[in-house]
Structure formats: structure tokens, C-alpha cells
Amino acid sequence: MRVLSGIQPTGRFHWGNYFGAIQQYIDLQNEDESYYFIANLHALTTLRDREALQRNTLDAALDLLALGLDPEKAVLFVQSDVPEVSELCWILMTTTPLGQLERCTAFKDKKAKGISADAGLFTYPVLMAADILAFESDVVPVGQDQIQHLEVTRDLAQKFNHLFGETFVLPKPKVLDHSAKVPGVDGEKMSKSYDNTVEIFEPLKQQRKKLMRIVTDSRAMEDPKEPETDHLFQLYSLFASDAQKEEMAATYRQGGFGYGMVKKALAEVSETYFAEARERREELAAQPEKVREILGDGAATARKKAAQVLLRAQQACGLKSL
């Protein structure tokens, strides 16, 4: 079973990225053959700063490795280092119905928000399809908002197979578990677009200040409170042990506490949770050439696999002889 997923380097990873996706990527590497890539080509649809893109790409690699992605177990590479994917994207584009792309929810939503509707944003699902099909991916971990794109991938693969013969493996989605919803500092879903994130590796002093500013309700200290509906408790629960959660829940229901106490407890458990990852990241940041070597080795492995699939597609449609 081969698993593939990518993550865009549009900014530093935050708690929502970790609990919503990265943690599960790391778990999957122990079960299946795994390919993970830093999607810098996709990032170009929104990030138009050369230095920022290069810095974010290296930071993404550092963060993933520090958080537990093991290059001995999973293939980690930068998307643009595997040009076979871009060539496969063009081949797929030639058989992609225009109307299918126009119906993609992500494109319509971004256009409605005033984001420039350029060709890159419009054809994003085709590049995503090429990413997946180039590695004969059986399973693709996706969020609920990405399922439609995976359905497009399956449609494009089936259409190509129908026109030119069996060429591509049809992938299946593995919907990421978002049961542990990660609220931002304002109580809404944690997202860079809402500017409400807590970055995994931001300086601890800066992070503590951010946590102490988390929005809470105005109920009196003595009032009992329901923990399960409180976003501050939800954040605490991501990091706390079962015993710590039970104790904090009892405090909520009893009342007679201030939210400042909970914020301090959140800072302590989150710092403990990521302490080892912080140490690993500092070690890796001091060895950038080692990180680039890992990415280079990953790209070489990825190119070998993608080249096999690309050649099969080229031969199927007549670009190369059998």
C-alpha cells in the first residue's frame, strides 16, 4: 500500500496543521510505503515572494523532520525537484474537461473571496492529480475540503485509461480525522487565513504571550462552566494526558477559577509536548546541508518512480514508442 500527501510551504506550520494532518502522516509512515512532498509549485498560486518561498520550503522540511517524519521510513521531497510530475500534469490537462474544473468548489470559493483567478489556481486540481498518479498512490490522506479534488483525480485517471488503455492506478481517499478540531486563539478554526494560529516552533516567550491573549467568555470566576464547549479546554485537551483532562474538566464544572490559570496550564503542557521536537529542530537547523541531502535523496527516489509512470503515460498516448 502506497500513501502520498503534500503540504504547502505558505507559512510556518501551526497546531492545526499538526493535529489535523502532520501527526497522522507520521503515524502512516509506520504502516505503509509513504511519499510526502513540500508542495512549492502549488504554493506559487498564492505566494509570490522568492525569498519567502525558499525560506518556507526549508522550514517545512525542518519542521516535518523535527516532528518525526523519518527519511528511513518515508520519502520526503520538494515537489519542483520532480519535473516528471509537471510533464504528467500537461498530459492530463489535454484530456481534462473545462467544465469539471469550473465546478471545483475550492476555485469557486477563492474566486468569490477576491483571489486572482489565474490559470494556476484554475488548474490546481490537475497538478494535484499528477502528484497522486505519478507515484501510483493507493491511499491519499485528505481533509474533507480536498475530497472533491481526489474525485477529480479519479475521473481524470479513468478518462485517460478509457482513451488510451490501463495506465493509472485509481487512488482512494483516507479522510483525515479532524475529530480533534483545533480552534484558533479567537475560537474559530485555526487557519493562517484567519490570522489566529499558534505556530508549533515560534519562540516560547512569544507563544506564551499569544496564549494569554486567547479570547474567553465573560462569565464570573465562581460560575461553573461546561468544558466540552469551551475552546480553551479543547486546546488544552490536545496536549494533556487523560488524567490531566479529567482534573481540568472537574475544575471547570466546579467553578471558582480564572481562565488565566487554564492558559498557563495550556502553555506548560504544549511546551512539554513539543519539547523533544524543538530540540531536534535546533539540531537540524544547524545542519542545513544534511536536510538538503535528505530532500535530494527523496527527490531521486521519487523521480525514479515518477519516471516509470510518466513513460507509461507517454507510450499510452503516443508521445513515445512502445
Is 192 assigned a catalytic role?
Answer: yes
Q: What is the Cα–Cα distance from 79 to 102, expressed in whole angstroms?
A: 25
DSSP structure string for 239-259 = HS-HHHHHHHHHHHHH----H
Write phi, then psi, for 265 (nearest 5 degrees).
-65, -40
Q: Which of 110, 225, 263, 305 is catalytic?
A: 110
Is 113 assigned a catalytic role?
Answer: no
Is 189 assigned a catalytic role?
Answer: yes
Closest Cα to residue 3, out of 171, 226, 158, 162?
171
- Interior/surface letters 283-302, b for 16+ CB within 10 angstroms, e for the rest: ebeeeeeebeebbeebbebb
Spatial contact of 107 and 121, defined as CB atoms under 8 Å apart? yes
Q: Which of 73, 174, 189, 210 is catalytic?
A: 189
DSSP structure string for 56-93 = HHHHHHHHHHHHT--TTTEEEEEGGG-HHHHHHHHHHH
Start-to-end Cα distance in the chain: 28
Residue 307: CB atoms within 10 A of its CB come to 15
Spatial contact of 111 and 117, defined as CB atoms under 8 Å apart? yes
Rounded-to-5 percentages of helix, strand, coil across the chain: 60, 10, 30
Q: Which of 159, 174, 192, 210 is catalytic?
A: 192
Q: Which residues are part of the catalytic machinery?
A: 110, 189, 192
